Amino acid sequence: MPDERPDDTRESPPPSGRDRLWGALTARPSRAQVVVGVLLAAVGFAAMTQVRSTEEDDQYGALRQSDLIRVLDGLAGTAQRAENEIDRLRRTRDDLQTSTSSRQAALEQARQESNTLSILAGTVPTVGPGVRITITDDRGEIQDDTLIDIIQELRAAGAEAMEFNDRIRVVAQTSVEETSRGIEVDGQVIDAPYVIDAIGEPTTLAGSLDFATGPVDRVRDEGGTITFEKHDELEIESVVPDEAPRYAEPEGGQ
């Protein structure tokens, strides 16, 4: 009898499409497939970025010409306003600098004038070049008029500060008179030798007293002697009280 056992050599049926898809998804990818996948991902990211950039550019690209003109005009106006504001701030800065410089100059001028007036008024000590005049009076015959003439001649020659005997400041209101006690300067008796310190140009001050029938001749005629010592620096430390005027005031409230 013939052998009726099934034939094991028959071919198996081909896999279905579902089986092939499942096999592809579950199969371990090769190195080439990994490289291709990475490249595809990079290309996709670049494409998405380009699309977004294009969409942003299209915000202006989609505008009409008149709209673009308005946009440009707005930008130009904003730039012009910014430049105007910068110019205004610069002018303000320059004005402040000029104002500050002017104010500093005015303060410096006022300070110098105050110093000058204080020296002339005799309310502050002072120092400078000048001449020391020493008058001897051994016989006690030097008159107050002679000392007054000396003071006036020194003032006319430019003396800016004067002092008698290292203790009495000579100012515009200074009085010199002869009393029973002797010669008084501003009510204070002074004894010979009379020493007058005068600040100014030394040669000019010394020469202002020596002329025909001038103070030098008068001192000699009255039995005294007069000498001059020029100094590069004289110190006058005596001062007069700084009193406010009782009656006078600046005109117009200045």
Give one DSSP letter per residue of 43-89, joined into a string.
HHHHHHHHHHHHHHHHHHHTS-HHHHHHHHHHHHHHHHHHHHHHHHH
Exposure letters 183-195 (e unless 16+ CB within 10 A, then b): bbbbeeebebbbb
**Lowest-confidence pick of 68-82, 104-118, 137-151:** 68-82
Whole-number pLDDT of residue 1: 44
Cα torsion angle, 36, 42, 45, 49, sign: negative
Query: Facing residues of 228 across strands?
Result: 133
- CATH fold of the domain at 127-236: Alpha-Beta Plaits (3.30.70)
Whole-number pLDDT of residue 128: 96
Q: Which amino acid is at 136?
A: T
Residue the block writes with tokens 């100059």: 105
- Residue 194: phi and psi, rounded to 5, are -90, 125
Whole-number pLDDT of residue 157: 94
Whole-number pLDDT of residue 84: 82
Whole-number pLDDT of residue 18: 60
Whole-number pLDDT of residue 244: 75
Element at 142 (helix H, strand E): none
Whole-number pLDDT of residue 41: 60
- For residues 230 and 8, the model is more confident at 230
Whole-number pLDDT of residue 145: 95
| pLDDT tens-place string over residues 130-182 | 999 999 999 899 999 999 999 999 999 999 999 999 999 999 999 999 999 99
Whole-number pLDDT of residue 162: 97
Nearest Cα to Cα of residue 193 among 145, 167, 226, 234: 226
Whole-number pLDDT of residue 46: 58
pTM exceeds 0.75 for this model: no
Average pLDDT value over all residues in the chain = 80
| pLDDT tens-place string over residues 178-188 | 999 999 999 99
Q: Residue 213 gets which letter from DSSP? A: T
Whole-number pLDDT of residue 243: 77
Q: Is 124 in contact with 118 (CB distance < 8 Å)?
A: yes
CA distance 234 to 231: 6
What is the separation of C-alpha 95 from the centre of its chain, rounded to a whole number of angstroms?
14
Whole-number pLDDT of residue 86: 84
| pLDDT tens-place string over residues 224-244 | 999 999 999 999 999 998 777
Whole-number pLDDT of residue 151: 96
SS3 16: coil
- For residues 79 and 188, the model is more confident at 188
Alpha carbon distances (Å) from 142 to 138, 160, 180: 9, 25, 14
CA distance 235 to 239: 12
